[in-house]
Structure 1
Amino acid sequence: MSLSRPAERPKRILIFGGTGDANRIAEDLMHEFGRDVRLQLSLAGRTSAPSLPDGVPVRIGGFGGPEGIITHLKNEQIDLVIDATHPYATEISHNIAKACHAVAMPCIQYHRPAWEQTEDDNWIMVKSIEEAARILPEVGNRALIASGAKNLHAFEGLEKTWLLVRTVDAPRDPFDLEFGEWLFARGPFSVESETELLERNEIDVIVSKNSGGDATFAKIEAARNLGIPVIMIERPGGEPVIQAPSRSEIIDTVRETLKKV
């Protein structure tokens, strides 16, 4: 497909990443549009040794808020922004949306569908990680904490519940794990390995965010099979920008958007 006339420069797309979805979106765009687009992937740098797509320039580090994003958009002559950050990365998504609105920059947020509860699941829905920590001792004695590395301080001081805290990297914020163990691991995980982990550690409750996607869903399926309750932290709402719930819709929306810029 050709988007540009010979005299036009390639359209420049900035992808805010940090998820496997962002890498796959970048690969989709390269495959679909080829030299008609020039991509840049921006990562916050919170994860060591991140997986990166081949052939895409990567910027690592924060911007210092919306003003820093605006400066970057102008300096790099960006035509379109794609927010493919984690569904719970609300601060950066808010800053991206605010910056794009300020300079009338088209912005597409990849809002992957949340997991859906079935009649075989035992989910206890909560609004925040703080609420999850507050009710945890009432639900179980041995918990898998699989809600990410942020805000773990909410679980400090729990004396009745042993914690198996699984993160990709060590948390940057101080967290004193007095009664439990660390487990550093990166998905995707299989149902078999998750089942073995839960059984070996005698886990009787899981704390999770409803992140959606396939990479970490195995723990939800394993919990379902074993009859283990999941304290599920609800998904935050999306930003007031263009929403795309699938990679194919990202491609379609990019195609239509780039015709207008």
Structure 2
Amino acid sequence: MSLSRPAKRPKHILIFGGTGDANRIAEDLMHEFGRDIRLQLSLAGRTSAPSLPDGIPVRIGGFGGPEGIISYVKSEQIDLVIDATHPYATEISGNISQACHAVAMPCIQYYRPGWEKTPKDNWVQVRSIAEAARILPNHGTRALIASGAKNLHAFEGLEKTWLLVRTVDAPRDPFDLAYGEWLFARGPFSIESETELLERHQIDVIVCKNSGGNATFAKIEAARKMGLPVIMIERPGAEPVTQASSREVILKSVQKFLEQ
């Protein structure tokens, strides 16, 4: 009598998300590897109505630092971690890297390439939001602030620069917008809509992060077309983990992992 081999347990992959890239990576993995994997998506819960991929379990909320991540990956029997958080989410990426290193957990960080300046762009490159706020009055009197909902307090007290602050949700930290107005909107945006927005509000300078990707690149193209300066907050250094600069590289890395 022959005995059949027990079926292999699907590899459990935890994706730290919160970006459109994370959703597309999850969909790519399900399409490519199907029954060979089990996916879970983890979100910090900072956005009130996040866009989510269909059919993939989602965990919402923080972990309490590296120790919490370690506890979770052990209890859930995670086999592989993919960090597809925002390029500027350095705290959570650092926690993920530290936790995975501590327990020898394979970890892939999706690090999408930033936008590259062309001769037609007028970028003023800075290292922080505080630096961007400090030099803003030197570059315009009506600014589109498109740097996200964190650390907006740096722009308080700019009495000579009117601010159009665009975020997905209202910021959780206190911010007194005394001279300007809010705009709650979620990308992707088109060049036409961004151009119309800039013209309607008579914007003469933009502040944003070099997030990369296509969803919010239209404002850069509109600024280029209109000859507007862009105060570009450059990226912080990447964490020392295995990095993938495209979804195709993610798929190849996961394929290699499954073949081990």
TM-score class, shorter: over 0.9
SS at match of 1:188: coil
SS at match of 1:59: strand
Could you tell me which runs of 5 or more consecutive residues in structure 2 were left unpaired when the two chains were aligned.
none
* Cα distance, 1:238 vs structure 2: 1.3
Amino acid at match of 1:142: R
* Cα distance, 1:236 vs structure 2: 1.4
SS at match of 2:193: helix
Q: Aligned residue for 2:82?
A: 82
Q: How do residues 109-258 of structure 1 correspond to structure 2 at under 5 angstroms? A: 109-258=109-258
* Cα distance, 1:61 vs structure 2: 0.2
| CA deviation vs aligned residue, 1:173-216 (integer Å, no higher than 9, x gap) | 00000000000000000000000000000000000000000000
SS at match of 2:40: strand
Amino acid at match of 1:160: K
Q: TM-score, normalised by structure 2?
A: 0.97
Amino acid at match of 1:187: G
SS at match of 1:144: strand
Q: Aligned residue for 1:31?
A: 31
In the alignment, the residues of structure 2 paired with residue 131 and residue 43 of structure 1 have an alpha-carbon distance, to the nearest angstrom, of 29
SS at match of 1:198: helix
* Cα distance, 1:54 vs structure 2: 0.7
| CA deviation vs aligned residue, 1:202-244 (integer Å, no higher than 9, x gap) | 0000000000000000000000000000000001121111000
Q: TM-score, normalised by structure 1?
A: 0.97
In the alignment, the residues of structure 2 paired with residue 258 and residue 212 of structure 1 have an alpha-carbon distance, to the nearest angstrom, of 29
- Please say if 1:95 is aligned against 2:95: yes
Aligned residues between the structures: 256
Q: Aligned residue for 1:65?
A: 65
Amino acid at match of 2:90: T
Give the superposed CA RMSD.
Answer: 0.8
In the alignment, the residues of structure 1 paired with residue 139 and residue 208 of structure 2 have an alpha-carbon distance, to the nearest angstrom, of 14
Amino acid at match of 1:174: P
Percent identity between matched residues is 82
* Cα distance, 1:259 vs structure 2: 2.8
In the alignment, the residues of structure 2 paired with residue 87 and residue 79 of structure 1 have an alpha-carbon distance, to the nearest angstrom, of 23
Amino acid at match of 1:161: T
Amino acid at match of 1:157: G
Could you tell me which runs of 5 or more consecutive residues in structure 1 were left unpaired when the two chains were aligned.
none
In the alignment, the residues of structure 2 paired with residue 153 and residue 130 of structure 1 have an alpha-carbon distance, to the nearest angstrom, of 9
* Gap change, CA 1:225 and 1:6, over 3 Å in 2: farther
* Gap change, CA 1:227 and 1:162, over 3 Å in 2: same
